[in-house]
């Protein structure tokens, strides 16, 4: 693939829920290994965008090109197999299996049995390495969430959509989530981050897209999305 071709290219995306227009005229690119923060007030369309990219809601019009292929009408499974994962994954861990067995199961399911993948998961989440022989059902809630993230990230997707991953987590676990995404990024995974903590998302990302009532209201370098932009489009939420 030509290195100047974006990994993900979205053009004029429109999504409807019945008569209601949730997204319209949304266009943007994400390069390989890029990190895009998607911000917006409640109801702006962030989750709808994530769901449309991963095939969970259909695009009514527009084009979504991922790794050179049109995925606008592909199934969620086909999209995941092409290397675009939506985090957190809906499926829970297997409580009766150990941490290590859970990771092996995920590799087998993905047809990606590679010796180094589990080591990579433990490098991203050292806490799981310490607990590799522990049954997943006895992990804390936060640790189970780490396991679910590890299963998705160890397969080294090309693009991960981190959809409100820090929601409801204790501050220490929010740090773990950000660190794990940094590690995934360092391993070459492009990230689209939807995040309640706008300032943290902007520190993480290199580009920023602000949605307002289903349309792109602002786009630019993450470092240029100053307090004024956040206050203007996010209001109170900008304080986070």
- Kindly tell me the sign of the dihedral angle through the C-alpha atoms of 187, 189, 192, 195: negative
DSSP 4: T
Binding of ligand ATP by 167 (CB under 6 A)? no
Of 6, 45, 55, 157, the residue at the interface with ligand ATP (CB under 6 A) is: 45
Binding of ligand ATP by 48 (CB under 6 A)? yes
What is the C-alpha to C-alpha distance for residues 159 and 50, in angstroms, rounded to an integer?
12
Tokens of 152: 């998705």
> Of 35-43, 63-71, 125-133, 143-151, which segment contacts ligand ATP by CB under 6 A?
35-43
Binding of ligand ATP by 17 (CB under 6 A)? yes
Q: In the range 49-108, which residues lie near ligand ATP by CB under 6 A? A: none
Residue 51 or 131 having the CB closest to ligand ATP: 51
> Of 38-46, 145-153, 173-181, 221-229, which segment contacts ligand ATP by CB under 6 A?
38-46
Binding of ligand ATP by 47 (CB under 6 A)? yes
Binding of ligand ATP by 215 (CB under 6 A)? no
Of 43, 92, 220, 239, the residue at the interface with ligand ATP (CB under 6 A) is: 43
- In a 3-state reduction of DSSP, which class is residue 187? coil
DSSP strand pairing (35-40 vs 207-212)? parallel
User: 3-state SS of 25-79?
Assistant: EEEEEECCCCEEEEEECCCCCHHHHHHHHCCCCCCCEEEEEECCEECCCCCHHHH
The total of other beta-carbon atoms located within 10 Å of residue 72's CB is 20
* Distance of closest approach, residue 46 Cβ to ligand ATP, in angstroms: 4
Phi-psi region of 127 (alpha: psi -120 to 50; beta: other; left: phi over 0): alpha
* Distance of closest approach, residue 147 Cβ to ligand ATP, in angstroms: 25
Binding of ligand ATP by 20 (CB under 6 A)? yes
The alpha helices in the chain, defined as continuous H runs, are 46-53, 76-81, 99-109, 115-124, 126-130, 141-153, 171-186, 198-204, 227-234
Angle at 140 between CA 138 and CA 141, to 5 degrees: 120
* Distance of closest approach, residue 18 Cβ to ligand ATP, in angstroms: 7
Binding of ligand ATP by 195 (CB under 6 A)? no
> Of 15-23, 114-122, 139-147, 153-161, which segment contacts ligand ATP by CB under 6 A?
15-23
> Of 17-25, 107-115, 154-162, 202-210, which segment contacts ligand ATP by CB under 6 A?
17-25
Residues that bind ligand ATP (CB under 6 A): 17, 20, 22, 40, 42-48
């Amino acid at each position: 693939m030509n290195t100047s071709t974006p990994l993900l290219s979205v053009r004029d995306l429109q999504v409807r829920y019945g008569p209601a227009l949730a997204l319209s005229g949304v266009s943007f690119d994400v390069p390989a290994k890029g990190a895009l923060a998607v911000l917006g007030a409640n109801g702006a369309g962030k989750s709808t965008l994530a769901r449309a990219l991963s095939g969970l809601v259909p695009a009514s019009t527009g084009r979504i090109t991922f790794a050179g292929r049109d995925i606008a009408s592909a199934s969620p499974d086909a999209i995941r197999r092409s290397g675009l994962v939506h985090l957190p994954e809906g499926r829970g861990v297997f409580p009766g299996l150990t941490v290590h067995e859970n990771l092996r199961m995920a590799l087998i399911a993905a047809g990606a049995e590679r010796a180094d993948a589990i080591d990579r998961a433990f490098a991203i989440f050292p806490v799981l390495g310490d607990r590799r022989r522990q049954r997943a059902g006895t992990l804390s809630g936060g640790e189970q969430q780490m396991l679910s993230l590890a299963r998705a990230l160890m397969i080294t997707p090309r693009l991960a959509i981190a959809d409100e991953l820090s929601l409801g987590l204790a501050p220490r676990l929010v740090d773990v989530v950000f660190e794990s995404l940094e590690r995934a990024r360092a391993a070459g995974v492009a990230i689209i981050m939807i995040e309640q903590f706008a300032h943290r998302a902007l520190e993480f990302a290199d580009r920023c897209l602000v949605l307002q009532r289903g349309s792109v209201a602002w786009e630019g370098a993450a470092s240029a999305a100053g307090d004024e932009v956040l206050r203007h489009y996010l209001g109170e939420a900008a304080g986070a």
